Amino acid sequence: MKGTLVDLQLSGRVAVVTGASKGIGLAVARTLAAEGAHVVAASRTRTADLPAEVVHVPVDLMDPQAPAHVIATAAERFGGVDILVNNAGGPPPGVTLPRFGFLTPGDDDWRAMFEFNLYSAVRAMRAAVPLMLERGGGSIVNVSSGGARQPAPMNVDYNAAKAALNSVGKAVSEEYGPRGIRVNTVSPGPTLTAWWTKEGGAAAVLAEMTGGDAGTVIKQAAPEMMRLATGRLVEPQEIADAVALLASPRSGSTTGADFVIDGGFLKEL
């Protein structure tokens, strides 16, 4: 039985989570489901790790029609949408990051990066906002990146797409805050997900550059390289906990904010 001090008041609310098959998205879907929300999870494939009660919508979010389809599915199944978590992002399908140097990505690379990390979220918000207005409000949480605020000659296109997402989220929060829709951003630092751990992923790329091994990169080299004050990568659940709080009515006066959960990656005030 939940006490009033910890109840996030999410029971019965309808939540859409994109990129929910693994990593941060999976942790968010699990957390919202555990809090009693009706969760609709969007990803290309369903993994066995998703709770049975979560409704999965198999989509490729590179498809311009996919976000609206996911939102429509949630509305058909549960009568509306209260929460949207735009988590899908990172390397587009078939792309490996990190990618070094401004001249490395070409036009097609830039287009794919913005399609996945910006346009899919814009389309999901465009579909969700009218449904939220019908219900008197809602909460949108966009999962961005510390890289949006820390430009560097690595993943230039990715960081630019996330910076654009931050800007859009702030604008939507200003427009729809008076009508009950809160829009917030969560900016993770380097997080222990498949981006890092998969075969050929970021840890393997950096290991090849440094002459080490992927395990050492994850545990030591990457935290040192990125000057993480905690000395370790962020855990997906740490991001999910912040998302759940922002989705909750208990964050009713929080909108247009950017919650940084990055192990001390960003150093500026």
Catalytic residues: 158
How many angstroms separate the Cα of 158 from the Cα of each of 145, 213, 246?
9, 25, 24
- Helices 156-176, 107-114: inter-axial angle, 10-degree rounding: 30
Helix or strand holding residue 75 (H, E): helix 66-78
Nearest to 196 by CA among 78, 87, 101, 96: 96
Q: How are strands ordered across the β-sheet holding 138-143?
A: 55-58, 38-43, 14-18, 83-86, 138-143, 181-188, 258-261
What sign does the CA torsion over 159, 163, 169, 173 have? positive
Distance between CA atoms of 57 and 80, rounded to whole angstroms?
A: 16
Considering all CA atoms of the chain, what is the largest pairwise distance in Å, rounded to the nearest integer? 56
Do 236 and 87 contact (CB within 8 A), yes or no? no
Lookup result for tokens 């075969």: 199
Radius of gyration, CA atoms only, the chain: 18
